[in-house]
Amino acid sequence: MLFKRPRILALPEILEGCRNQKPSAQKQLFEAYYSFGINICMRYADNREEAEEMFDDGFLRILNKINYYDPDQPFDAWFRTVMIRSAIDHYRKHKSSLTFSSIEEAYEIGQDEGLLERLSAEEILTVVQHLPPSYRAAFSLHVVDGYSHPEIAEMLGINEGTSRSNLAKARVKLQELLINWVSKGSINTRNYVQ
């Protein structure tokens, strides 16, 4: 996992407080999980403001559905799933502005073996945010969050071949952006492909 949340010792007490709708417990949960959640949302968002909107929606869902959380399961995994679903729902709302590519347009690329080792997680996230939204969604869901192409297709309302194509194109574009980032220290935003 790219970003991890620090442990909080009183999590069961905080969750119980959230179940009882105690504002102090909700605030503690928010503060403890904000950076973890915002980093998840940043993988799907165009910018920080959009990620914060996704996070706010996801956090409200968490507070509203806290009684459905099974305390025998890891809370971090449940929290992460809710945040990812919130980001996907955001895409569904704004789907008309997304363009998905067909499998026939995908192509293979070579790899620069040492490229990722030269970048920090934050730099990689910055580069991923410069991918077009449809590519970023396919890449984040498959590579980072581990969803299969059939699951991605169902979540995004596309066919499985389109999911595969967008992932292939995301990898091509990501490699171009990463090479540009490493060689020039920044991203040429004119390389942003719709």
C-alpha torsion sign, points 156, 158, 164, 167: negative
CA distance linking residue 132 with residue 128, whole number of Å: 9
Least confident segment among 21-30, 104-113, 117-126, 152-161: 104-113
Q: What is the arithmetic mean of pLDDT over 2-15? A: 71
pLDDT reported for residue 123: 72
Looking at the structure, tell me whether residues 17 and 67 fall in a common domain.
Answer: yes
**Domain enclosing residue 74, as ranges:** 11-93
Q: If pLDDT is split at 50, 70 and 90, which confidence band does 9 have?
A: low
**Statement: the pTM of the whole predicted model exceeds 0.85:** no
Residue 5 is assigned to a structural domain of this protein: no
C-alpha torsion sign, points 165, 171, 177, 180: negative
Torsion angle (degrees, nearest 10) of CA 1, 125, 82, 28 = 90
Structurally, how many domains does the chain consist of? 2
